[in-house]
Chain A
């Protein structure tokens, strides 16, 4: 296969993923999938190697690239099968991310897989929204191990019955799963069309071989050596902490070894990070060093070896609570990996970004009229050798939109009294870190709020003499008095209370010139 044919083939695979995404977006119904685009679609070769992906959320790229080989080997696939899973310890990330996979057969032979992963608004569990502070995976939601929802072209209705009986709004779940299935079916058909003309299996092999070069070239550009960095998560939300994350990165030629030995043991709270998410965060950091046109295949990460001791925060035993591994721990892993790489290539690595997603969940109402509203808040990006960090943007592992103030006030008994850039919060330096933001809610009806935040005591680091960004603050304004709240907490709010969240600024870069 020459370079032109391979280019055409790679383009076609990308186009299939885009088309799968279009089908999913059009047929799904929950806002999280349709509007916030918290999903991705991917194609794998018959061994489960990722060969193409359309991703909006970085955490999906790495985790899909990491885990599908294992899932593929576990099941005995037949034509017309549709598998579903969300188990964080068997290919998933956290429970709300549900993956649907279909094998692609041609002439009775399996040639590939099409898959889609989407964040569902609720997957059962004790807390609505399935993002609460719990100690066990089973309390976070229903765990679906890889299995067949459709077998040989026939639906197996029992497979999802437990899930659907426990998930809130089962209609919507089923509709979104059907959309994911339609999206995979589209991928299956398109691949079969291509295979009728060119043998996909050979083309996959060539594409994987070639794309490995993007990763190797990126790592070869990093000077050989051993680089260390460590940082902490402040607490697990249930009283333990700080939890340290240590990375040692060894670069030798075109190979990198990332070793998290010395990191904290797994914790009781939901900050544990299954290997697939740990890998996703590491892969994200290295992906940023590759050129924009890099194909989304698993081979680009072949030259990265990953080690995290079993039973540690970054490779916990099955059954551990993991809801926040995706949204908080993954951000710190990126900080640590980039921090280590900054020793090697300081001109290419920025100071720390805000390092949290500032998860805010309001819940209220009575049983028949209950409401839940979930938001993640942007913050500052780290400054870098070329300039200041961006202010008030989603950083690193996420990129979802905010909720419109008017939409929010029309639907919930809440009022926004401020939504502004937090000036002066970016770290000082030759280049300034990006500023965080402030969002303030006035409570119009008694309700409950849960906060799941980091970087409330321990600020995002600066680099090369740049100063740290400001750490974030969670404030309660009640009866004329301001109370500082914990980073992770759940509390009851009264009419008239104001909750103000100030998000961290990014770190500064370089000494301030005087």
Chain B
């Protein structure tokens, strides 16, 4: 039992090592992307799938994580050169740590902001969470644009040290996966599922629904912040317009496809959606259909993906895994 789990873990780590050292740069970058999106989607699934509170927050928290990690890893000299709109504030110059503490700080800042958002939102029933988090994504952008002393405004941050590689993203993905599974099977996870299935009954059972929802939301935000930090280091350049709703939408497709509430499904969904996005790239470009040139259609891929989402919701609401986990195979006897 334990042996099987450990060997799966060993195979994954071995694969990460093999891919990083043997695959070509393009394949590694796709795998890197899949791993980061898997981290984001795993945490997004906790609030949406497990706790059942529809939220559209990832782009906001990823942006926060990316900015925090970037500001903490950039050396002061680079910052002084880069900030042309306004001189960087002394606070920005003082921020400097190595990569790992910067990642953790990204997560902590995102989680603190999640806590502040959950006070107004979870006092009423979860309905407003979706619209408040959707608005939050825009607000973060507005603040990033209008605080040039902090964020360098619309120009964004460049030359972020690219410490990140497949070891970082792959290892953090595995850690996130294990933590999420442990949360699901803990008493907090059961409480989250109870809130999802019937909030009134959960309250009657003595569950503090406000805290359970806040806990789920903050945990999601923490890992989204960390994922954002990884993303900043992978891309080496970030700007306010980069973290749009498109990011949230991709994650939503991943968790719906994989199965709301299933962490194993989320990994499969991340591979399918991110792989599919690469594969469907031809849709956005010129096409010759029976000699007729269609011209480039940027956005056609997203039309396909949004139709996929609607069709999934109408006809296959459970997704690939439902709310089962791969490890449930081993749990049958219990």
The judgment on whether A and B are partners is no
